[in-house]
A and B are shown apart, each in its own frame.
Chain A
Amino acid sequence: MLLEVNDIHVYYGKVAALHGVTLEVSEGEIVALIGANGAGKTTTLKTISGLRPLARGRVRFQGEDISKVPAHKRVALGIGQAPEGRGIFPGMTVQENLLMGAYGRKGDVSGDLAQVYEIFPRLAERKSQYGGTMSGGEQQMLTIGRALMTNPKVLLLDEPSMGLAPMLVAQIFDIVKEINERGTTVLLVEQNAHQALQLAHRAYVLETGAVVKSAPASDLLHDPEVRAAYLGGDLGVA
C-alpha cells in the first residue's frame, strides 16, 4: 500500500474537522474523495501533506509512519500537493513557480520541466509571465505542474476544477488522467462528484469529518444515495 490513513482526528481549535478518517491508496490508482463543502476533504489532504497537525491516528507512506515528519520533509518522500484555488506564487514567473517545485531536489530537473511543459503547453507559452497575472484555469494548471516538479509518488489534488468553465474542467480531468497514465498515483478531492467518479478507480464519500462510504467509483456512480446527494439525482447521469 502506498498511502494509508488510519483513523485520523484533526481539530481546528476545539472544533473537530476530522474524526476518524481511514483510507488507503495503492500505487497506480486514482482515488477520489467526494463530499459536500466542509466535509473535511481538504483537511484530509492537508493532514496527509503535513500542513495540519494530527490529534490522533496515523499516516503511513510506503509502509513508514510519517505522522511526525514535518510537512517540508514529506515532499522529498514523494508526497506532492497541488493546493486549492490560487496557491501559486503570484510574484514569480511561471517558470520560477515550476522551479520552486524542485526546491528540495538535487541534480538536473530540466527533463521534468520539459515534461511539464509537454503536459501543459499553455504554461510553456507563458513561461515568463507572472503567476498572479494568469487566468484561473492557467493558475490551476500551474499548481498541478508545480506539484509534478516535486517528482511525487502520490499527487494530492485539491479541487482542480474549482471555479473553472466546463470546457476547462474536462481538459483538467483529461490531464489528470494522463498524469496517472504516466505513472503517478493520484488522490483527488472534488466537489464535482460526477466527473471525479468517472475518472477515479475508487472513491470515498466524506460527511462531516468521517468516511461514510467507500467503493469502486463506477459503483458509486450508480449508488442511489450518492446520486441523490452529490450527483443531482437523475440529472447527474445526463
Chain B
Amino acid sequence: MLDDLSNQFLPSTVGGLAAGAIFALLALGYTMVYGVLRLINFAHSEIFMIGTFASLFVLTTMGVTGPLTGFALIGMLLLMLVVSMAAAGGAAVLLEQVAYRPLRKKGASRLAALISAIGASLFLQEFFALVVIPAVFDKAGRNTTGVPRLVDRDVVFTIGNANVRTDHIIVIVAAIAMMVLLDQIVNRSRMGRGIRATAQDPEAAVLMGVNIDNVVRMTFLLGGAMAGVAGMLYVMEYEVTQYNEGFVLGIKAFTAAVLGGIGNIRGALLGGFALGLIENWGAIFLGSEWKDVIAFIVLVVVLMFRPTGILGESLQRARA
C-alpha cells in the first residue's frame, strides 16, 4: 500500500490537476449563476456537452484524423476554443432567455426555476441524441462518439516518476489563463462591477443604474463560455463525448462549486482543483472505479464541518 502511494502519488497529482482544471472551469458557471440569481442552473452540464460537440464539429469539418504539431496544432486549438466558447456561451444565453427569464419576470418561485432547469437539461440531451448528433455527425445519437487524437501524448518533462505530457500542459495552462481572464472581467470591468453588485444586493444595484437583465445575460454568457472551454479541453484530453457526457461531470463540477463555497468564483477554482486531486489520490488506495464515491464523501465531510464551503458563500467575497 505504501509502495502504491509512493509510486502513484506524483502521476495521480498530474492527472488530478488536469481533471481539476476542467471541473473548475465548469464550476465557474454554476457558481456565477447561483451568485447572481440564487439558481442552480441544472442545464449547465448540457452547455458543457454542447461545447464538446462544437469542438468535435471543428475537428470533423477540418478533416483532422491524427495528431497535429506546431502551428497547425496551435491554430486548431484556438479555432476549437473560439467555436466552443461561442457555441456554449450562445446556448447558455438562449437557455436563460427561454427557460429562466419568463419565470423571473413573473416572479415565480425558485422551485419553479429549478424544475425548468431540469426540464431544459433533459430537453437538450434528447435534442442532441435525437436530432443534432444523427444529422450533423451522422452517428447513432446515443452511442459514445470517439474523437480523433489531436495532441500526441509526448512527455515534456518528468517530476519524480510523473510524466507531464503536452496535453496535460495544454489543459492546465489554458484553464488557468481562462480563469485569470474571467477574474479580471469580474473584478475590473464595468460589467463585472454590475455583476458583483447584483450578487450582493440586486435592489441596490438597480438603484445604481445597473440593468439586471444585462447582468444576467452576461453572467450566462461568461459561465457558458467557460463551459465551452471545459468542453474543448475535455474532448482533447479524454477523446470521447456523447449526448449525456455532461451529466456526471456536471454534478462533480457542482460539487466543486459547493466545496469551494457556492457563489464564490475563487472558491469554484479551489473546489475544482481540490476535487480533481482528492479523487485521483483516493483512487490510489481504492482503485479508479471508486473515484466518484470518493468525490461525494469528501463533499459530505466538508459540508459537515463547513456548511458554506471552503471559502464561504457568495460573489461578494470574490476579492476578499
Contacts and interface: CB of A to CB of B under 8 A. Distances in A.
Interaction A to B: yes
Interface of A: 49-51, 70-73, 75-76, 80-81, 83, 87-92, 96, 99-101, 103-104, 130, 132, 146-147, 150
Interface SS of chain A: helix, strand, loop or mixed? Answer: mixed
Contacts of B208: 75, 100-101, 103-104, 146, 150
B316 A90 contact: yes
Nearest to A70: B211
A87 B316 contact: no
Contacts of B315: 91
B317 interface: yes
B152 interface: no
B207 A90 contact: no
Given A91-B314, A103-B194, A75 B200 contact: no
A87 B209 contact: no
Nearest to A81: B207
A83 B211 contact: no
Contacts of A70: 211
Which bucket holds chain B's interface residue count? 20 to 34
Interface string B197-230: 1001101111111111000000000000000000
Nearest to A100: B208
Given A72-B210, A75-B208, A103 B203 contact: no
Contact of A88 (B190, B194, B204, B320): B204
B240 to A, nearest CB: 40
A74 to B, nearest CB: 8
Interface SS of chain B: helix, strand, loop or mixed? Answer: helix
Contact of B209 (A51, A91, A96, A103): A103
Q: Which of B194, B203, B209 has the most CB of A within 10 A?
A: B209
Contacts of B302: none
A140 B108 CA distance: 32
B101 interface: no
A186 to B, nearest CB: 16
A132 B205 CA distance: 16
B207 A92 contact: no
Contacts of B204: 83, 87-89
A49 B320 CA distance: 32
A51 to B, nearest CB: 6
Contacts of A49: 207
B206 A71 contact: yes
Q: Which of A49, A91, A96, A147 has the most CB of B within 10 A?
A: A91
A97 to B, nearest CB: 9
